[in-house]
């Protein structure tokens, strides 16, 4: 060996490698990836402006003709309104009329976060365990039937699954808690004496001081409230997780099946390593980065599922509000609400995708250079 | 000395690799759907676009379940015989689904293949950026957002076809992403290199070698997209009719209503997704009360059956192409 072989440490997973001057490959990847986010956000807002505001302006009587100047002015106006919280006022929705869409989104966000905090770990754990086991036991004679079954279940809309669960558990829930399950995330008005909410719940849906019902219940030491809220949150979280796992499984099975046929796994098996160890240690380590990427790719599907499940349980959350603003009468105020909703969704999904992408790059045994 | 080798004929390929059972079952199921659609065109000619209401059935108490006379029962609210409603909707739903899948599959394959062939180029970056950015919003919400605005500028009788084109145009990113990956790998294969060395143009490489060998991911994605289409068609009518905070029609069976951006021209337009979404309202009318299962079960079976037929056909076709080409 010549002395000229001075390996440049391009792979961060290599230990004792001499650090390179400047950015590490991971930092470069993270920087490039992060810089894309604003561009993607602008693109999504442009699509929203082109598809919502421009046709509305074109069909409005007396509207100025569309020129480059009016287009740019209008787009800038929309972006400015979104960032300053001028999202229009709800109209034609009965319950929320007169409220600003921005205020509604701000008030409803904690409920959705609370469900997501429960649903995400349940969904991740189920997806990890079921995805690994189902792909591992993949045999040609079971492959097509299981794929078709998964797909058939995927064709059943989430709202139908939610309704079936709600109806199936209705009597048990009523018997245990003296409350109905399909009426928001906090106890329904009929549960309180004379139908009057305590002072720390305003409007029948916002709890104080944090806005997160379970935290506020603890702070006010209202344990019956806490039990009902926990039960309702868990019910919604489990439905969301079950539907999401069916979506995740379609992708996960193939990833595990192809990994299980790799030479390293076959070699490990030939050394007499037991099947559970092969699956839960060797294969799991290899598929984890891909699972994380799948997790990022299926974020929109997860959100759509949670939105629908929130609506089934009439939970005042971002999902219920999103479906409300989309089905509201198409006045200019409600259109502004849709633009705000698009912004919120894009920020959530893009941030999530970025975080998962970076996490996957960090945990990939082949290092960031494989991406 | 050069030997002129002609490619094998399709029939020879078929004799060596006949269709598998899966493909035949899929084709059989799809043929059944097409036969039902054709028969609907004959039976309901003149009134194919509107269900025939029976006002006596709009609020029957208790609702009329399946019987020998009405095998699928009655759907109150609409006041229609459910068997007729599903039968009449078959040609429309097949047209909607196949229209969307054709646009989605063709675009996904073509855009993905072009991006994969020109890996690292400006086209590749543009396609990846476009696909990733469009993927930032769930498809069912993005379609609703865009459709809600664009439909204002289109005559009402064209809204259904606008929806088909729009949905097809927005569903391509997942297919394109996977096709791109496949083409990237295939483009390095010796037979592609050999063809390139023989002077094949990019267009020939694309259409002769790369696209036919990259259809697998598209065929795997198409059945998944069927679920997205019916999710869109059923979830908004369900929400608008029985979960939204809007003023409702009152106690008892609902009067069906269309959300403001619905692609359907009227509430009486026969469509499975709308029937499923609306029937879920009436089927689960009273919390804790009886579930009128037939109202949602039969439209659901029609949708699931079509999805499975397409999945079997696509799976079988993918296997056949893998060995046949």
The answer to whether B145 contacts A170, with C-beta atoms less than 8 Å apart, is no
For residue A250, what are its two tokens?
Answer: 């379609």
Residues 6+ apart with CB under 8 A from A121: none
pLDDT of residue A129: 84
| CA B262 from centroid of its chain's CA atoms | 17
Residues 6+ apart with CB under 8 A from B168: B99, B100, B101, B102, B103, B104, B107
CA distance B237 to chain A (A): 9
Q: Which residues pair with A319 in a beta bridge?
A: none
The answer to whether B133 contacts A44, with C-beta atoms less than 8 Å apart, is yes
| Chain A CB contacts of B238 below 8 Å | 157, 159
pLDDT of residue A234: 92
CA distance B6 to chain A (A): 35
CB A220 within 8 A of CB A198: yes
**Cα–Cα dist A275/A223, whole Å:** 46
| Chain B CB contacts of A301 below 8 Å | 138
pLDDT of residue A366: 58
Nearest residue in A to B131, CA atom: A40
Q: Say how many CB pairs under 8 Å bridge A and B.
A: 180
pLDDT of residue A230: 93
Total Cβ atoms within 10 A of residue B119:
15
| Chain A CB contacts of B133 below 8 Å | 40, 43-44
Interface test with A, best of B20, B129, B130, B148 (most A CBs within 10 A): B148
Nearest residue in B to A300, CA atom: B138
The answer to whether B137 contacts A346, with C-beta atoms less than 8 Å apart, is yes
Bridge pairing between strands B74-75 and B80-81: antiparallel
The confidence band for B97, taking pLDDT boundaries of 50, 70 and 90, is: very high
CB A318 within 8 A of CB A327: no
Of B137, B230, B291, the CB nearest to A349: B137
Flag whether pLDDT at A5 surpasses 50. Answer: no
The answer to whether A58 contacts B134, with C-beta atoms less than 8 Å apart, is no
Comparing A261 with A15, the larger pLDDT belongs to A261
The answer to whether A330 contacts B152, with C-beta atoms less than 8 Å apart, is yes
| pLDDT, tens digit (0-9, with 9 covering 90-100), for B260-302 | 888 898 889 999 999 999 888 888 877 777 888 999 999 999 9
Nearest residue in B to A349, CA atom: B136
How does DSSP assign B161-183, residue by residue? HHHHHHHHHHSHHHHHHHHHHHH
| Chain B CB contacts of A330 below 8 Å | 148, 152, 260-261
Average pLDDT over residues A49-57: 82
Average pLDDT over residues A318-323: 90
**Cα–Cα dist B40/A142, whole Å:** 37
pLDDT of residue B161: 92
The answer to whether B308 contacts A159, with C-beta atoms less than 8 Å apart, is no
Would you state the torsion angle of the CA atoms of residues B41, B43, B48, B54, taken in this order, to the nearest 10 degrees? -160
3-state SS record for B205-222: HHHHHHCHHHHHHHHHHH
The answer to whether B141 contacts A155, with C-beta atoms less than 8 Å apart, is no
| Chain A CB contacts of B24 below 8 Å | none
pLDDT of residue A143: 66
Range in A312-316, A347-351, B70-74, B135-139 the model is least confident about: B135-139
What is the percent of chain B with per-residue pLDDT over 90, rounded to a whole number?
30
- Collapse the DSSP code of B266 into the 3-class scheme (helix H, G, I; strand E, B; otherwise coil) and give the result: coil
Task: Using alpha carbons, select from A327, A353, A325, A294 the residue that is nearest to residue A105.
Answer: A325
- Collapse the DSSP code of B51 into the 3-class scheme (helix H, G, I; strand E, B; otherwise coil) and give the result: coil
Flag whether pLDDT at B193 surpasses 70. Answer: yes
The answer to whether A326 contacts B152, with C-beta atoms less than 8 Å apart, is no
What is the enclosing helix (H) or strand (E) of B143? helix B139-150
The confidence band for B90, taking pLDDT boundaries of 50, 70 and 90, is: very high
The confidence band for B22, taking pLDDT boundaries of 50, 70 and 90, is: confident
Comparing B136 with A134, the larger pLDDT belongs to B136
Rounded to 5 degrees, what are φ and ψ at A142? Answer: -100, -15
What is the percent of chain A with per-residue pLDDT over 70, rounded to a whole number?
88
Residues 6+ apart with CB under 8 A from B233: B96, B263, B271, B272, B273, B274, B277
| Chain B CB contacts of A92 below 8 Å | 246
Specify which of A191-200, A342-351, B37-46, B124-133 reaches the highest per-range mean pLDDT: B37-46
Own/partner pairs, B99-102, CB within 8 angstroms, 24+ separation = B99/B161, B99/B164, B99/B165, B99/B168, B100/B164, B100/B167, B100/B168, B100/B171, B100/B225, B100/B229, B101/B168, B101/B222, B101/B225, B101/B226, B101/B310, B102/B168
For residue A137, what are its two tokens?
Answer: 């036991």
The answer to whether B141 contacts A304, with C-beta atoms less than 8 Å apart, is yes
The answer to whether B287 contacts A328, with C-beta atoms less than 8 Å apart, is no
The answer to whether A155 contacts B148, with C-beta atoms less than 8 Å apart, is no
Average pLDDT value over all residues in chain B: 86
Flag whether pLDDT at B324 surpasses 80. Answer: no
Query: To 10 degrees, what angle do helices A223-260 and A140-154 make?
Result: 140
Of A95, A157, A322, the CB nearest to B245: A95
List, in order of start, the domains of chain A with CATH numbers.
101-367 (1.10.3720.10)
CA distance A250 to chain B (A): 9
The confidence band for A4, taking pLDDT boundaries of 50, 70 and 90, is: very low
- Collapse the DSSP code of A344 into the 3-class scheme (helix H, G, I; strand E, B; otherwise coil) and give the result: helix
| pLDDT, tens digit (0-9, with 9 covering 90-100), for B116-125 | 888 888 888 8
The answer to whether B236 contacts A327, with C-beta atoms less than 8 Å apart, is yes
CB B30 within 8 A of CB B222: no
The answer to whether A163 contacts B141, with C-beta atoms less than 8 Å apart, is no
- Evaluate whether ipTM surpasses 0.90: no
Q: Is cis: bond before B84, omega within 30 of 0?
A: no
CA atoms lying within 13 Å on the CB side of residue A102: 10
Comparing B106 with A248, the larger pLDDT belongs to B106
Global pTM? 0.86
How does DSSP assign A158-191, residue by residue? HHHHHHHHHHHHHHHHHHHHSS-TTS-SS--GGG
pLDDT of residue A229: 92
- Collapse the DSSP code of A267 into the 3-class scheme (helix H, G, I; strand E, B; otherwise coil) and give the result: helix
Q: Where are the alpha helices (DSSP H) in chain A?
A: 25-48, 54-59, 68-83, 101-136, 140-154, 158-177, 213-219, 223-260, 263-270, 275-277, 284-297, 299-312, 318-326, 332-363
For residue B239, what are its two tokens?
Answer: 């929400």
CA distance A221 to chain B (A): 30
CA distance A172 to chain B (A): 10
What is the enclosing helix (H) or strand (E) of B81? strand B80-81
Nearest residue in B to A170, CA atom: B288
The answer to whether A51 contacts B145, with C-beta atoms less than 8 Å apart, is yes
The answer to whether B312 contacts A148, with C-beta atoms less than 8 Å apart, is yes
């Amino acid at each position: 060996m010549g002395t000229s072989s001075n390996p440049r440490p391009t792979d961060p997973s290599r230990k004792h490698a001499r650090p390179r001057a400047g950015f590490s490959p991971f930092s470069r990847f993270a920087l490039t990836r992060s810089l894309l986010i604003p561009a993607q956000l602008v693109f999504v807002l442009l699509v929203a402006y082109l598809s919502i505001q421009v046709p509305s302006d074109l069909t409005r009587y007396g509207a100025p003709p569309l020129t480059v100047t009016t287009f740019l002015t209008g787009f800038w106006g929309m972006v400015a309104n979104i960032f300053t919280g001028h999202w229009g006022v709800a109209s034609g929705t009965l319950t929320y009329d007169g409220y600003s869409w921005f205020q509604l989104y701000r008030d409803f966000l904690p409920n959705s976060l609370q469900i997501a905090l429960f649903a995400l770990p349940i969904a991740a754990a189920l997806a990890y365990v079921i995805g690994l086991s189902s792909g591992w036991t993949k045999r040609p004679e079971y492959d097509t039937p299981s794929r078709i079954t998964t797909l058939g279940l995927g064709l059943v809309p989430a709202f139908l699954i939610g309704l079936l669960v709600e109806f199936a558990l209705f009597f048990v829930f009523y018997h245990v808690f003296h409350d109905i399950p399909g009426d928001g995330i906090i106890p329904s008005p009929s549960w309180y004496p004379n139908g009057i909410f305590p002072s720390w719940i305003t409007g029948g849906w916002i709890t104080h001081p944090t806005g997160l019902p379970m935290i506020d219940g603890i702070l006010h030491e209202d344990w019956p409230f806490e039990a009902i809220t926990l039960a309702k949150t868990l019910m919604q979280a489990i439905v969301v997780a079950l539907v999401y796992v069916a979506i995740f499984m379609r992708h996960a099975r193939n990833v595990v099946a192809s990994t299980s046929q790799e030479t390293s796994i076959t070699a490990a098996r030939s050394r007499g390593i037991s099947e559970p160890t092969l699956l839960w240690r060797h294969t799991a380590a290899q598929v984890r980065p891909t699972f994380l990427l799948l997790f990022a790719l299926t974020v929109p599907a997860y959100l759509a599922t949670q939105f629908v499940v929130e609506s089934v349980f009439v939970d005042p959350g971002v999902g219920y509000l999103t479906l409300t603003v989309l089905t509201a009468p198409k006045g200019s105020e409600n259109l502004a609400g849709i633009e705000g909703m698009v912004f919120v969704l894009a920020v959530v999904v893009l941030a999530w995708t970025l975080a998962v992408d970076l996490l996957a790059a960090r945990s990939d045994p082949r290092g960031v250079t494989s991406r | 000395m050069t030997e002129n080798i002609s490619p094998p004929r399709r029939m020879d390929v078929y004799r060596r690799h006949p269709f598998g059972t899966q493909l035949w079952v899929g084709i059989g199921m799809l043929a059944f759907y097409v036969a039902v659609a054709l028969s609907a065109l004959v039976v309901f000619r003149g009134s194919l676009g509107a269900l025939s209401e029976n006002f006596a059935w709009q609020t029957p108490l208790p609702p009329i379940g399946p019987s020998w006379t009405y095998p699928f029962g009655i759907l109150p609210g609409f006041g229609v015989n459910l068997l007729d409603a599903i039968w009449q909707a078959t040609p429309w739903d097949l047209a909607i689904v196949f229209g969307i899948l054709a646009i989605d599959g063709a675009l996904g394959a073509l855009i993905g293949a072009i991006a994969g062939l020109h890996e690292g180029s400006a086209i590749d970056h543009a396609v990846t950026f476009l696909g990733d950015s469009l993927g930032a919003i769930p498809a069912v919400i993005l379609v609703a957002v865009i459709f809600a605005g664009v439909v204002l500028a289109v005559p009402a009788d064209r809204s259904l076809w606008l929806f088909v084109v729009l949905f097809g145009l927005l569903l391509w990113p997942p297919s394109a992403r996977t096709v791109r990956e496949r083409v990237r790998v295939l483009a390095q294969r010796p037979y592609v290199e050999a063809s390139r060395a023989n002077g094949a143009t990019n267009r020939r490489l694309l259409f002769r070698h790369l696209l036919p060998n990259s259809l697998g991911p598209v065929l795997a994605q198409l059945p998944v997209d069927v679920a997205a289409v019916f999710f869109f068609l059923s979830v908004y009518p369900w929400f608008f009719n029985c979960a939204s905070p809007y003023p409702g029609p009152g106690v008892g069976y609902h009067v069906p209503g269309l959300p403001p951006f619905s692609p359907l021209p009227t509430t009486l337009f026969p469509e499975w997704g709308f029937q499923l979404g609306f029937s879920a309202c009436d089927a689960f009318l009273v919390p804790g009360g009886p579930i009128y299962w037939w109202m949602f079960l039969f439209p659901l079976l029609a949708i699931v059956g079509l999805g499975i037929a397409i999945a079997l056909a696509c799976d079988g076709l993918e296997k056949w192409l893998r060995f046949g080409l």
